[in-house]
Chain A
Amino acid sequence: MRTEQLTSTILQGEGVSISLENVTVFYGINPAIQDVTMEIFANSVTAFIGASGCGKTTLLRCINRMNDLITNTQITGEIRVLGEDVRKLDPIDLRRRVGMVFQRPNPFPTSIYENIAMGLKVNGFKGDIAEQVEKYLRLVGLYDEVKDRLKSNALQLSGGQQQRLCIARSLALEPEIILMDEPCASLDPISSIKIDNLITQLKKYFTVVIITHNLQQAARIADRIAFFKVVESGGARFGVLDEYATSTDFFTKPKSADSYNYINTRIG
């Protein structure tokens, strides 16, 4: 109820891309995150922030049903992606439309070219694969760095290059939404800035949801911030959505005491 109020105060975007309604996720009988209701807007960057263990990753992974791969996961409430209930969608189709970038770069142990081409092939891409590979390597600013060694193994790239390759790999499928789970956590500051700039460009074409522990990054790239906090109740620890606001509002006049403390412990 509280979150509904919070949502209503948010500047409306061009359209709702993802809507969550009373979403609670359990691992076995333990809730990881409870009762989240929010709307994520199209063509914008929404950052999930909050202390570790507050269920941000869990929530993110429910959006493209990656949590199906973990046994014992139970989800109540409703998650809609572009108006459709994710439970009614084929997870394979859903994941093609909702791309994901992980915390640690995870290129496949194949060639740079094949890393992008593989996703296209398994999804029955009809166009020119080589052209698509080049287009997205250019978009992530990797093409000039690797154009002479497209056939060499992707594991030889640096961490930052690997992560950009992983981003290119999910963008090449031209999904509507990109979920990013701390994409810069294992990168040096320069690679990290490159990815930030990329994300800012991406929102023209995609809806981006990003988890980050870096508040400066969140302030720099996000249009809206969703702050999660851990609560303890009846011996269980789980996350709840505490505040959801535009980036400017969140950082200049946070409404909740917890988000104020979170921002200020980090800066101070």
Chain B
Amino acid sequence: MTDSTELLLSSTSAPSKGKRKAREFRENIIQTLLLFAAVSSVLVTFGIMEVLVGESFRFFINPELKEVGVENIWADFFNIKDPQWTVLFEEKHFGILTLLSSTLLTSAVALIVAVPVGTTVAIYLSEFAASSLREWLKPILELLAGVPSVVFGYFALNVISPYVRSFNENIPGFNRLSAGIAIGIAIIPIISSIAEDAMRAVPNQMREGSYALGSTRINTAINVILPAAFSGIVASYILGISRAVGETMIVAVAGGLQALYSWNPLEGAATISAYIVQVTLGDVPFGSLEYESIFAAGLTLALITLALNLIGFFLIKRFKETY
């Protein structure tokens, strides 16, 4: 018995010294290739951050700032009392809050639209819809997420905006309310789809516990399923906000391109992303102050998104249910 095993072992391992080396070499190459694939996306992210931070840094230390009348760029950039963004004018100011106010305002409008609608759709799909209905309703809804955002932009401009203006003709055609509503529609599928997944992941025994107490479906959805799926629902909101904050084409098409500081959604004004588009489309010379300013604005946007993702990450961790 033992003899035969040894025989077997030696017969497979004896002539393999060279083969083994070759095999190990092959394995190493494959492993290295896989590592590169994994690392490449990280490298790209670092590369993007390097460009953003590097160009922004060059902007903040640019000696030209003094020439155009900006004494203290930090005070000007973070001016919250009277922010102005007049980069393309003779007398320049770089108050980021001017653009940020538009970004926050359109995102807020979008959330006011998308959170209630998205959550309601998720509750319906998860707790009320028959599975046959859900099977074709959910893909259609997710199709909405695949609509190019430029289409939403013109939808905002040609459909929503005229409707908004039908209430008051003095409202400009380019306004942030219309753009915000369109962003809201665009992010409904993100919220509803992720929130629905979270709700369906709630174990059935929890539903049964609620029904066994004489709860109706809506009681169960509100009192049991929403708290149980809380972390996933919050994650869907955070993802929705991230998308709304970074949304570019809709605001560039329908939200207006003037850099105005205003919290009135009925006015048109450029968001951070709309401003970046505007500068990139114009003939701003590479390496100029105007060119560098878009990186400072872009970095602000990146930091907001990063902060949102961190908040989302901690909320999810904090409220993760163990059932």
Expressed in whole angstroms, the minimum distance between the Cβ of B34 and any Cβ of chain A is 40
Say whether A119 contacts B214, CB under 8 Å.
Answer: yes
Chain B contacts of A106 at CB under 8 A? Answer: 203, 205-206, 208-209
A102 at the binding interface (Cβ < 8 Å): yes
Q: A173 and B213: CB pair below 8 A? A: yes
**Interface membership of B212, Cβ < 8 A:** yes
Cα A112 to Cα B94 with chains together (Å):
54
Q: What residues on B are CB-neighbors of A166 within 8 Å?
A: 209
| B32 on interface, CB distance cutoff 8 Å | no
A90-132 toward B: CB 8 Å interface, digit per residue (1/0)? 0011011001101010111110000000110011000000000
* Contact mask for chain A residues 135-177; partner B; CB cutoff 8 A; 1 contact, 0 none: 0000000000000000000010000000000100110010000
Do residues B212 and A109 form an inter-chain contact, with CB atoms below 8 A?
Answer: no
Q: Does B211 contact A (CB under 8 A)?
A: yes
Q: Is the interface of B mostly helix, strand, loop or mixed?
A: helix
Q: Cα distance A123–B212 when bound, in Å? A: 12
Please determine whether A92 and B216 come into contact, CB atoms closer than 8 angstroms: yes
Contact between A99 and B205, CB atoms less than 8 A apart: no
Are B213 and A118 in contact, CB atoms less than 8 angstroms apart? yes
The yes or no answer to B227 lying at the interface (CB within 8 A) is yes
- B contact residues around A119 at 8 Å (CB): 213-215
Q: Which of chain A's residues have a CB closer than 8 A to the CB of B321?
A: 109, 155
Q: Which residues of B200-230 are within 8 A (CB) of A?
A: 203, 205-216, 219, 223-224, 227-228, 230
Residues of A within 8 A of B203 (CB): 106
**Max chain A CB contacts within 10 Å: which of B211, B224, B227, B323?**
B211
How far is it, in angstroms, between the C-alpha of A104 and the C-alpha of B213 when the chains are bound? 16
Interface string of B243-255 (1 = CB under 8 A from A): 0000000000000
Q: A140 to chain B: closest CB distance in Å?
A: 15
Residues of B with C-beta under 8 A to A93: 214
Contact B214 A108 (CB under 8 A): no
B322 within 8 A of A: yes
Contacting A at CB under 8 A, from B304-323, are 321-323
Which residue of chain B has its CB nearest to the CB of A96?
B214
Nearest Cβ on chain B to A151's Cβ, whole angstroms: 14
Residue-wise, chain A 47-67 has the 8 Å CB interface mask toward B (1 for contact) of 000000000000000001010
Distance (Å) between the CB of B153 and the closest chain A CB?
Answer: 41
A122 pairs with B219, CB closer than 8 A: yes
Q: A170 contacts B215, CB within 8 Å?
A: no
A37 to B176, CA, bound (A): 69
Residues of A within 8 A of B208 (CB): 66, 69, 100, 102, 106
- Chain A proximity of B229: nearest CB distance (Å): 9
Whether B228 pairs with A104 at a CB distance below 8 angstroms is no
How many positions in chain A have a CB within 8 Å of any CB in the partner chain? 25
- A6, B219: Cα distance in complex, Å: 43
Q: Determine which of B206, B211, B215, B230 lies in contact with A66 in the assembled complex, contact meaning CB atoms within 8 Å.
A: B211
Most chain A CB inside 10 Å of its own CB: which residue of B205, B210, B212, B224: B212
Docked complex Cα distance between A166 and B205 (Å): 12
> Given contacts A155-B321, A155-B323, are A108 and B224 in contact (CB under 8 A)?
yes
Do B213 and A109 touch across chains, with their CB atoms under 8 A apart?
no
Complex partner residue of B323 from A69, A100, A109, A122, CB under 8 angstroms: A109
In angstroms, Cα B206 to Cα A107, docked, is 7
Contact B227 A109 (CB under 8 A): yes
CA distance A165 to B213 in the complex (A): 13
Distance (Å) between the CB of B243 and the closest chain A CB? 28
Q: How far is the CB of A119 from chain B (nearest CB, A)?
A: 4
Tell whether A109 pairs with B214 under 8 Å between CB atoms, given A155-B322, A166-B209.
Answer: no
Known pairs A109-B323, A110-B227, A155-B322; A122 contacts B205 (CB<8 A): no
Q: 1/0 per residue B32-74: CB within 8 Å of A?
A: 0000000000000000000000000000000000000000000
* Closest A residue, CB atoms, query B202: A109
CA distance A92 to B219 in the complex (A): 11
Within 8 Å by CB of A108, from B206, B211, B216, B322, lies B206
Q: In the complex, which residues of chain B have a beta carbon less than 8 angstroms from the beta carbon of A123?
A: 213-214
Is A122's CB under 8 angstroms from B213's CB?
yes
Residue of B nearest to A95 (CB): B214
Please, which residue of chain A has its CB at the minimum distance from the CB of B216? Answer: A92
A173 touches which one: B214, B228, B323 (CB < 8 A)? B214
**A-B contact sample (15 more), CB < 8 A, given A102-B212, A106-B209:** A100-B208, A102-B208, A106-B208, A108-B206, A108-B210, A108-B223, A109-B227, A109-B228, A109-B230, A109-B321, A118-B224, A119-B213, A119-B214, A122-B223, A155-B323
Ordered by A's residue number, 27 sampled pairs between the chains whose C-beta atoms are within 8 Å are: A64-B212, A69-B207, A69-B208, A69-B211, A93-B214, A95-B212, A96-B213, A96-B214, A99-B212, A99-B213, A100-B208, A104-B205, A106-B205, A106-B208, A106-B209, A108-B210, A109-B206, A109-B228, A110-B227, A118-B210, A119-B214, A119-B215, A122-B219, A166-B209, A169-B209, A170-B212, A173-B213
Return the 10 tightest CB-CB contacts between A and B, nearest first: A96-B214, A119-B213, A100-B212, A106-B209, A106-B205, A95-B214, A109-B228, A122-B219, A122-B215, A108-B224
